[in-house]
Amino acid sequence: MKKLTFSLVIAIFTAIIFLGWGLDSFFNEYQDKKHTDEFSTYKQIITSLANTLEKTDNVVQFVAMWQQQNQQQLTLTPLTEFPLPISLRESFNQGDPLVLESAELITVNKLLQSQQQVLTLGIPQQAKQQDNLALQIILTTVFYAGILLCAFIWLYPLVKRLQLLRSTAKRFGEGDFSARIRVSNSSYIVDIENEFNFMAEQINTLIKDNKLLSNAVSHDLRTPLARLRFGIEALGETNNPKNKEKYVRHLSRDIQEMENLVAVLLNYASLEQKMIKVKRLPLNLNTLIKSVVCSLTSSDVCSVAMDITELAKEKIVIDGDENYLSMLINNLLSNAQQYATKQVKITTQQTRNNVVMCIADDGPGISKEMREQVFKPFTRGESNAIQQGYGMGLAIVVRVAAWHGGKVSISQSELLGGAKFTVVFNRTPA
């Protein structure tokens, strides 16, 4: 919007300045030329009268007769009562006609050398003003027409971009969720266009995630529901206490599985709504990693070595929410632990602008075709090993990293041969 406001001010200001200056220059040039042409005639008249009166003895009588027969005023003034600036006096005393102009009268003056009197021919200003009125109306019309033309030239690309925005929004509203605006840097509303594309991308992502959630619910809930139905039927048909106890344990396990799935769905839905307030405070990343590793390795289930020997020796500080960053690290380590054979290696480093965390394992790795897919909800890897969970861990990792201005990528570990997850955060200024 700053670009829109700035361009509007510049367009109007430029139009007013240049049009006003151009028309004013034209009017002044026209007036000067008109004055030159008009006053040359009066100069010739006053010169002819002065030459005639130089040879006449009764000048006063001639002036009186002139006043009776002509509209222009003709007067005589003694030279001593006709003060002039020094810059005009020399040429006037040499016989050059002199034109003087006031608000009400234009006078053409000529010195009668023999009589030391000034002959003055007066012309009313009203006639001149009436002559200029038509020109002033024309120039005023041209000025405002020029302003309107400049406004139209400025508005045309704006209206064109707004029409493009309207048509794209209409396509998007009709179900074409791939509709995007091709952003132009010269557009006045480039910020609005970028925001629209971002909004459309977010909506498209939400729709895709909802489809994935729906498919997951319909798929992952059917299995425990079927087992529950079978278990209830078997429980009702048996009278053996041991079988009843076994069926009750199975039913309890299936109910727990459904509760876990619902909890995962609600957790991811809360992340999608973006109503969570992230409390970003300075945190020591290495300390946080050690804490998460300690909680994982303390479990009896963990049979994979967590190597943290290559954590950066210096203190690495980033701005983030401790709870959500712990969730991010925990999900990455749990994922690596699930697919690793013997070892998971964690490293950190900081550059001038970024903080980099890498988690690598010695498992089968992730193919290039699947590296983008595994970040989507309910997507599991290609390993033939027994897979636990619902495929939500990495989707949550991407979401939390984005909240902290970070990016997650997958590559192959050169050292261990398995998958290598790299998270890049912006470095906190010292």
Ordered DSSP codes for 261-295: HHHHHHHHHHHHHT-PPP--EEEEHHHHHHHHHHH
pLDDT tier at 384 (50, 70, 90 boundaries)?
A: very low
How many Cβ atoms sit within 10 Å of the Cβ of residue 48? 11
- Three-class SS of residue 173? helix
pLDDT tier at 356 (50, 70, 90 boundaries)?
A: very high
pLDDT tier at 194 (50, 70, 90 boundaries)?
A: confident
**DSSP-assigned beta bridge partners for residue 54:** none
Q: Which residues of 96-135 are buried (b: 16+ CB within 10 A; e: fewer)?
A: ebbbeeeeeebbbbbbbeebebbbbbbbeeeeeeeeeeee
| Average pLDDT taken over every residue of the chain | 78
pLDDT at 355 over 80: yes
Mean pLDDT of 110-129: 77
Number of H helices, E strands in the chain: 10, 11
pLDDT recorded at residue 218: 67
pLDDT recorded at residue 360: 93
State the Cα–Cα distance between residues 77 and 118, nearest whole angstrom: 5
State the Cα–Cα distance between residues 213 and 230, nearest whole angstrom: 26
pLDDT tier at 386 (50, 70, 90 boundaries)?
A: very low
pLDDT tier at 129 (50, 70, 90 boundaries)?
A: low
pLDDT at 30 over 90: no
State the Cα–Cα distance between residues 107 and 88, nearest whole angstrom: 15
Q: What are phi and psi of 388, to 5 degrees?
A: -105, 160
State the Cα–Cα distance between residues 303 and 322, nearest whole angstrom: 26
pLDDT tier at 212 (50, 70, 90 boundaries)?
A: low
Whether the Cβ atoms of residue 360 and residue 345 lie closer than 8 Å to each other: yes
Q: pLDDT tens digits for 33-53?
A: 555 556 777 788 888 888 888
Structure tokens at 217: 């619910």
Give the up-direction half-sphere exposure of residue 187: CA atoms within 13 A in the CB hemisphere: 18
Q: Which of 271-280, 296-305, 358-367 has the highest mean pLDDT?
A: 358-367
256 contacts: CB under 8 Å, gap ≥ 6: none
Percent of the chain scored above 70 by pLDDT? 77
230 contacts: CB under 8 Å, gap ≥ 6: none
State the Cα–Cα distance between residues 118 and 98, nearest whole angstrom: 10
Query: End-to-end distance of the chain based on CA atoms, in angstroms?
Result: 33
Residue with tokens 């690290």: 329
- CA of 365: how far to CAs of 29, 343, 386, 392, 421, in Å? 84, 13, 15, 18, 10
Percent of the chain scored above 90 by pLDDT? 7
Q: Which domains does the chain have, with CATH numbers?
A: 2-129 (no CATH), 190-273 (1.10.287.130), 281-426 (3.30.565.10)
Segment among 150-164, 284-298, 315-329, 337-351 with least mean pLDDT: 150-164
Q: pLDDT tens digits for 300-346?
A: 556 678 888 888 888 888 988 888 888 889 889 888 888 888 889 99
Q: Which residues of 190-223 are buried (b: 16+ CB within 10 A; e: fewer)?
A: bebbeebbeebeeeeeeeebeebbeebeeebeee
Q: Is 381 exposed, middle or buried (0-12, 13-18, 19+ CB in 10 A)?
A: buried
pLDDT at 350 over 70: yes
